[in-house]
Amino acid sequence: MHILKNIKNMKSSISIITVSLMVFFFFSCNNEKQADNASSAAPSTTKKDSAADKGIGKFTNIRLTHPLDDSMVVRGKNIYDSKCMSCHKLSDEKLVGPGWKGVTDRRTAEWVMNFITNTNVMLDSDLVAQQLMVTCVARMPNQNLGDDQARAVLEYMRKNDGKN
Ligand code: HEC
């Protein structure tokens, strides 16, 4: 009885979690945006967190330049081809990890940079990264990129998202 009572008290928070999980499983991890919309009836913190979330790491203020830096885009593409392509498509289709289409819209530049350079800490402690890990059912290995390499990949992602 005691346990049942506790379960009842926790019902509302459990149902929020359940709804979020169901939505995440229903849509694959690359469709988080739609998942947010679909779950608008139930409060979801994902979107709010993503909008200003800088993740965990040393990058707190990335200055994005316009127009894109073409040499960084080329370097970023080379890194993508050799170290990321096996798990990430450039479309919004999931492979092992989420497709990269729209990643610069759903994440801040700081979050992306911190995730790429501080992958294990982010996967252990960042809420958004942890949700990705649940929906992708895989854990991204740290790719050991230097700061400049991570920045070049970010520029390539911006290019892929049609930024200029
Ligand atoms: C072995 C597979 C694998 C490789 C290789 C890989 N990733 Fe990932 N990546 C993942 C998975 C899986 C996720 C989702 C988070 C998780 O489950 O760990 C992810 C998530 C991400 C995200 C967050 C995407 C989003 O939608 O928010 C970024 C950014 C990212 N990876 C960048 C990179 C970069 C840059 C490289 C190459 C240098 C790379 N990844 C290589 C598997 C991989």
In angstroms, the CA 110 to CA 54 distance is 5
Q: How far lies 132's CA from each of 3, 37, 94, 140, 162, in Å? A: 31, 17, 11, 10, 24
Averaged pLDDT for residues 49-75: 91
Q: How far is the CA of 158 from the centre of ligand 1 (A)?
A: 16
In sequence order, the 6+-apart residues with CB closer than 8 A to the CB of 87 are 95, 96, 97, 138, 140
In angstroms, the CA 48 to CA 162 distance is 24
Q: Which atom of ligand 1 is nearest to the CA of 149?
A: 38
Residue 5 confidence (pLDDT)? 56
Distance separating the N- and C-terminal Cα atoms of the chain: 61
Span 110-139, pLDDT tens digits = 999 999 999 999 999 999 999 999 999 999
